[in-house]
Structure 1
């Protein structure tokens, strides 16, 4: 389903299956990666706090889903990703990278093993077309089938310390027995769904895969069960507090991925771009604490009066009560304690802070 813009010269925004539900809930909608998405409902802080203290849910149906199957599926995925897909078993999932030939990332993804020889890849919304073309190009010579199922699925992320308590009465599965990164079929509020104990907030929770045609009814029932709707604004402050990189900010085709602390995603195996990706990164991703002035992506970072890097993500932290940021800085300055961030021509002091800024229970 697509939206007709008021200005015909503006690009048409795509809509998720939950678009009407967002409007009913009074969401403020904004363009995001080509989609019309809710940035907030009751307010960013209220939604952020609901996820930290109880349970909130996000519409992440704009993400892409690719099914990879066939006798050559494992060998294919081993060659186009950095993590060890051979370690997965049916009903398990892991975080992974799609490296480019030159060492940057095409995308960072999640891989769910559905069954022997069958996998589901969840990719970033803004990278769906690029990822699809990349995978198809490298599938040549492999006995593998690729299917783009992005339009078939709706995806809801229910996150927060009370998620289990709120969902369990409405499911036929012992949710507490399913460990982190589990992926399994279940009944939830009368619907057949796939659940994954994964998320992007720093809290416990489940991501719910459901047929797109049923998503709106499930969303409404989750609201009735006491789950708070949350928008992109809270999703960003939550993931920033948890120190999670965001593609296009901390990762890209030109940023060395080992600048981050996610080197564990690169295993000792042959894969695309291995020579470049295992070279020492020229920059490091660090956390910064500021006292009063929030900073944004692109702001210059200084040490000893010299620019040594750039802010990649920044915001005021609702949980911690002060501004925080992630920044890519020259490797030689990554262990420095004191920095300055320039905001509209004025430099403000910043202190290096260990990532993640916040750890859930």
Structure 2
């Protein structure tokens, strides 16, 4: 697909003018990097980085039956989300897989904002609309109403405080506030996809470049870097965070994916519940984190072999960790190879190299909020 036919964020021209290397990502023309993958990654780990993630999709669910629709179509407990809070969730398939993983923001008692993966936005909307025939909630695709910026890193709060009077330091993890930033209405949440502290800013596309520019200006003294998809991927992998199409999919049980903590069978009936409970009792495979014991960089799709050199799985994500300076990855393996310290082989091109199962996440910060 040529760049002229790809979707573009409101910051597309800024990225091009700044010399970003661009790529097709889920039908969007997005920046991979501006200068250096490692430099951008380290900025988020040690200082602060700014991402344009306006390709993400947004769906609005409103009305007296909004919660009922979401309780039935997702696995987490919608009733436990207070107004002003967000929760990680998944749209479940009848077979116990995921149509998508998403964030659910409770904007008001009967108003929810769903933030979904860009490539799945239309599919998610159509699936919810089909299920909504028995509920009658007000469902709208509002993706074109939002730009989304992610300010991530230990100094993100300092950058925001330098340009705003919003009470961002006291904002708790997975909570949000609504206010004005430089005169622009914004929903600001303490969330992110980088295994770091940080914030995500939802705002009108018409204000995106002004806010982006001001954040870069305000963050200059804090070492801010604009960051692309490559750093976002290495940061999320170090945090053991799932990527749809890699660690998640329609044919992957959420229990096998290690997401039992978002599955709440006690809440009542929901799509895929029975299939998920069967998977919990008899999992055939599990998602694990691993570190290479011999040097070689694992990549998505590389085969996993047991000690008898039989193919038993494949790498879902892998790279050379900038923080750990070691090759790491995630993979689905048979349950007998899923225990910590278990070993297997990874086919890295023509070599079969030893790897060891390690505890996820590879990297974790302590949170005071």
Equivalent residues of 1:172, 1:187 under 8 A apart? no
In the superposition, relative to structure 1, how do residues 229 and 84 fare at CA in structure 2: closer, same or farther (>3 Å)?
Answer: same
> Which blocks of at least 5 consecutive residues in structure 1 are unaligned?
6-11
Q: CA deviation at 1:332?
A: 2.1
Show the 5 A alignment for 1:41-56. 41-56=34-49
Tell me the equivalent position of 1:321: 325
Task: Indicate which of 74, 99, 110 corresponds to 2:67.
Answer: 74
Equivalent residues of 1:82, 1:271 under 8 A apart? yes
Question: Residue by residue, what CA displacement relative to the aligned partner does 1:183-240 show, whole Å, maximum 9, x if unpaired?
Answer: 2112223422110111110101110001011101111111111231000000000000
SS in 1 for 2:158: helix
In the superposition, relative to structure 1, how do residues 307 and 3 fare at CA in structure 2: closer, same or farther (>3 Å)?
Answer: closer
Equivalent residues of 1:187, 1:193 under 8 A apart? yes
Task: Tell me which moved more, 130-139 or 336-345.
Answer: 336-345
Tell me the equivalent position of 1:8: none
Tell me the equivalent position of 2:140: 147
Tell me the equivalent position of 1:225: 218
Tell me the equivalent position of 1:298: 301
Tell me the equivalent position of 1:256: 253
Alpha-carbon distance in structure 2 between the residues aligned to 1:75 and 1:167: 36
Tell me the equivalent position of 2:58: 65
Question: Residue by residue, what CA displacement relative to the aligned partner does 1:104-163 show, whole Å, maximum 9, x if unpaired?
Answer: 100000000000100000000110111011010000021310011101100001100001
Equivalent residues of 2:50, 2:152 under 8 A apart? yes
Question: Residue by residue, what CA displacement relative to the aligned partner does 1:247-300 show, whole Å, maximum 9, x if unpaired?
Answer: 000000011111122201000231001111222321101111114211111111
Task: Tell me which moved more, 310-319 or 276-285.
Answer: 276-285
Alpha-carbon distance in structure 2 between the residues aligned to 1:170 and 1:221: 8
Equivalent residues of 2:98, 2:249 under 8 A apart? yes
Moved over 4 A (4+): none
Tell me the equivalent position of 1:283: 285
Alpha-carbon distance in structure 2 between the residues aligned to 1:288 and 1:142: 44
Alpha-carbon distance in structure 1 between the residues aligned to 2:210 and 2:18: 14
Q: CA deviation at 1:169?
A: 2.4
Task: Indicate which of 231, 236, 241 corresponds to 2:238.
Answer: 241
Q: CA deviation at 1:4?
A: 5.8
Show the 5 A alignment for 1:1-361. 5=4, 12-226=5-219, 227-267=224-264, 268=266, 269-280=268-279, 281-290=283-292, 291-305=294-308, 306-335=310-339, 337-361=342-366
SS in 2 for 1:61: coil
Alpha-carbon distance in structure 2 between the residues aligned to 1:324 and 1:4: 32
Tell me the equivalent position of 1:9: none
Q: TM-score, normalised by structure 2?
A: 0.93
SS in 1 for 2:213: helix
Q: CA deviation at 1:3?
A: 7.4
> Which blocks of at least 5 consecutive residues in structure 2 are unaligned?
none
In the superposition, relative to structure 1, how do residues 282 and 38 fare at CA in structure 2: closer, same or farther (>3 Å)?
Answer: same
Question: Residue by residue, what CA displacement relative to the aligned partner does 1:39-64 show, whole Å, maximum 9, x if unpaired?
Answer: 00011000000000011011111010
Alpha-carbon distance in structure 1 between the residues aligned to 2:348 and 2:82: 48
Question: Residue by residue, what CA displacement relative to the aligned partner does 1:25-79 show, whole Å, maximum 9, x if unpaired?
Answer: 2110001100100000011000000000011011111010000001100111100
In the superposition, relative to structure 1, how do residues 292 and 189 fare at CA in structure 2: closer, same or farther (>3 Å)?
Answer: farther
Equivalent residues of 1:104, 1:254 under 8 A apart? yes
SS in 1 for 2:295: coil
Alpha-carbon distance in structure 1 between the residues aligned to 2:28 and 2:49: 21
Task: Tell me which moved more, 201-210 or 183-192.
Answer: 183-192
